[in-house]
Amino acid sequence: MNFYEYLFVVLSLPLIIFLILLLFSNWRLWKKADLTILKAKIFLDESFMKNNFLMFSIMGIIIGLSIGFHIIIEMIELIDMEIPDGIYPVVKLLYYVGLIISFICLSVMGVFWRNILQKENKINTIYRQLVSSEASCL
Cβ–Cβ under 8 Å, residues 69 and 98: yes
* pTM score over 0.85: no
Cβ–Cβ under 8 Å, residues 33 and 124: yes
pLDDT recorded at residue 52: 80
Q: Spell out the domain ranges in the chain.
A: 49-130
SS3 call for 83? coil
pLDDT recorded at residue 32: 81
The mean per-residue pLDDT over the stretch 78-93 comes to: 76
The mean per-residue pLDDT over the stretch 3-19 comes to: 83
Pick from 45-49, 50-54, 68-72, 130-134: least confident: 130-134
Chain center to CA of 49? 15
Cβ–Cβ under 8 Å, residues 120 and 39: no
Distance, CA of 70 to CA of 97 (rounded, Å): 12
Quote the DSSP letter at residue 33.
Answer: S
